Chains A and B, each alone.
Chain A
Amino acid sequence: MTDEPNPVSSENPTVEALIENIDHPKPDLSSLEVDREDYVIETIHLHKRYGKLHAVNDLNLRVPRGSVFGFVGPNGAGKTSTMRILTTLMLPSSGEAKVSGFSVLTQPREVRRSIGYMPDFFGVYDDMKVWEYLDFFAACYEIPESERPGLINDLLELVDLKHRRDDMVDKLSRGMKQRLCLARTLAHDPEVLILDEPASGLDPRARIEIRSLLVELAKMGKTIFFSSHILADVAEICTDIGIIEAGQMVAQGPIDEMRRQLLPHRQIVITLLGRVDEAKEKLMQVKGVQEILDLKDEAGRKRIQVNFNGEDAGISELLTALTSSGIPVTNFAEQTQDLEAVFMRATKGIVT
């Protein structure tokens, strides 16, 4: 057992984590209306083979309408292949994939109309201005010429690039390019956004900006399906996750449910002024306590970790057991277990 399971709250947090904690409160996803009975993306026994390599192996993916779905997996797990099939850029070897109810095999045009796709790289037309870039793609999505100026202004405002309207695209920073690319995906008001590593290679601030934008878009009713290596991003903005390994879906569902399923016990860290043995004895009597571990002292104070399996009422009982006995408690907090723990538990480290 590690002493500090959550890297964000460790004694030596990364600069990145610090900036995120200082600048950016966790976005509120409670207003999102996720319809778990209606799947906007669905794959049925999907396979993709490259010669002997089985990149996607009987994948059954289901993305609920209105969700922010994080698609995670190790390198070579089949994330990009799945996304390329969903965006009609590649044919599956067998199986079916549907987006907004349209088959990628037989209705690719309808699929394209309903998706906004952002690949994991930014395709640059270095000889275009920002507004020209959006105008070109809006025209490619058959937006009438008369509607485009207003649309471009709205999109630039949304991604906070209005002030760079007349700049050449190649003069933008990577984060700005990524935001512009996101604006491009919205030109035709698609139902679903399919984003491959949207925060890849961005600095912490740009990552936060992209994450905030994604949450805003989700609040506007878009379903967001994105892949990421950065589990912190997934944990922060996703309502649902799917974990893929060796081309197979190893786990998928609402993020809280996944945490509960894959990490059966909750961790409560308690800081005491003394009487540790007595506290342990009292706590062990509460129903649901599995084990109690000693942690390193912090500023001369004793700390213990209680691994607990139960509901919130049980956690309240833990605190009551200590305070009713007069044991001095200075801190009592449940540790949020990060998605990395869920990920490590779900995957086996298999790479195709």
Chain B
Amino acid sequence: MRNPVRLLLGNPVVLKELRGRMRGPRAFIVLTGFLALVGGFAILLYLGMNAASRTNTGQVDGGEIGRTLFAGVIGIELFLVTFIAPAFTAGTISGERERQTYDLLRTTLLPESQLVMGKLFSALAYVFLLLLAAIPMQSLSFILGGTDLPDLFISFVILMTTAIFLGTVGIYFSARIKRTLPASISTYGVALGIVIGTILLFFILTVVTAPLLDRSGNVQASRTTEWIILIGRGALICLNPITTLWVSIDALVEQQSLWAFEYTFQGGSQGATSTVTLPSPWLVFTVLYLVISALFFMFTTRRIRQIDEQ
């Protein structure tokens, strides 16, 4: 079996795409724009928080500013990745059709999986570069306190997983739909679905289950109902990168646990509390989206392998 790293680096599509992407001023401009946006946002957030802290208490809470700055920078990065990953991938296969190079590629000996992997890897490599370049910006929060290396680790994993997922979705639609514009619209539809749609569903679930909650938000129902609500909420949290990050870091701060957290059943009508250990949302998020990404990768390869019926 061939070394996968060697296979990846020897993939002609990777070399061609990276060469094309890094040639000329475009790559430099996108990187500069990305860092300018993240940096500008971080400065505004810092100034705002600093002013707000002084006004309220007369003292500056460095930890609070650090945490907010960290969350803000990750938030804007997530927002940008949500836009950039589809933009880099939704036109990869359809663009080959539009440039009329698709038939040329299809009559070579290049395996479909290498074509898809090459396109995906080269797009993600650039997203990885953007995220890597923004790490110093995230690390500013270390000076102020309130965050630690595990926070940085979790956030980076969530950002990369989001990029991989949206990247594979983009390539899938690009192979499925022949033109780039509808492929991009479909990919952004999925991106909005996971970023905004899941939050809307979470609110709907909260409203629907409101009669079952007491004033503190604890569930006042049978253990089964509480399980159902927990799974429903948990699923929606783990589907959304923002809530995943939020709850994972919250669990890390509250329970000092990177991999798992404890949930206490309130007892409800039974009146007895009990505790269960659940995997941290970032872990579920990462596994779930990487599995879905692998499926999308497989579907894309299968779609390209199909010889046109027409």
Contact = CB atoms under 8 A, between A and B. Distances in A.
B23 A137 contact: no
Contacts of B309: 90-91
A117 B308 CA distance: 17
B215 interface: no
Contacts of B109: 109, 112-113, 140-142, 188
Instruction: Give chain B's interface secondary structure class.
Output: loop
Nearest to A110: B109
A152 to B, nearest CB: 14
B2 interface: no
Given A90-B307, A123-B101, A125-B99, A117 B107 contact: yes
Q: Counting chain B CB atoms within 10 Å of each CB, which of A89, A123, A145 scores highest?
A: A123
B16 A132 contact: yes
A125 B98 CA distance: 11
A310 interface: no
Contact of A123 (B16, B19, B104, B307): B104
Interface residues of A, number: 31
Interface in B77-104: 99-104
B15 interface: yes
Contacts of B10: 145
Given A127-B20, A127-B23, A136-B16, A87 B99 contact: no
A314 interface: no
Interface in A306-336: none
B12 A89 contact: no
Nearest to B16: A136
A145 B107 CA distance: 20
A108 interface: yes
Contacts of A109: 109
A91 B100 CA distance: 19
A140 B106 CA distance: 10
B105 interface: yes
Interface string A28-65: 00000000000000000000001000000000000000
B150 to A, nearest CB: 41
A117 to B, nearest CB: 5
B205 interface: no
A128 interface: yes
Given A90-B308, A137-B108, A123 B12 contact: no
Given A87-B107, A140-B109, A119 B100 contact: yes
A179 interface: no
A347 interface: no
Nearest to B101: A123
A121 B108 contact: no
B110 interface: yes
Nearest to B20: A127
A188 B109 CA distance: 10
B269 interface: no
B310 interface: yes
Nearest to B114: A140
Interface string B101-145: 111111111100000000000000000000000000000000000
A128 B16 contact: yes
Nearest to B19: A132
Contacts of A128: 16, 19-20
B12 A117 contact: no
Contacts of A172: none
A232 interface: no
A50 B20 CA distance: 38
A91 B106 CA distance: 14
B5 to A, nearest CB: 16
B175 to A, nearest CB: 15
A79 interface: no
A124 B117 CA distance: 22
Given A88-B307, A90-B308, A124 B108 contact: no
Contacts of B108: 112, 137, 140-141
Given A89-B307, A125-B20, A127-B20, A137 B107 contact: no
Contacts of A89: 103, 106-107, 307-308
Contacts of B307: 88-91, 108
Given A89-B307, A125-B101, 11 more contacts: A112-B109, A119-B104, A121-B100, A123-B100, A123-B104, A132-B19, A137-B108, A139-B15, A140-B109, A141-B109, A145-B10
27 contacts: A50-B310, A87-B107, A88-B307, A89-B106, A89-B308, A90-B307, A90-B309, A112-B108, A112-B109, A115-B107, A117-B103, A123-B101, A123-B104, A125-B20, A125-B99, A127-B19, A127-B20, A127-B24, A128-B19, A132-B19, A136-B15, A139-B12, A139-B15, A140-B105, A140-B108, A141-B108, A184-B104
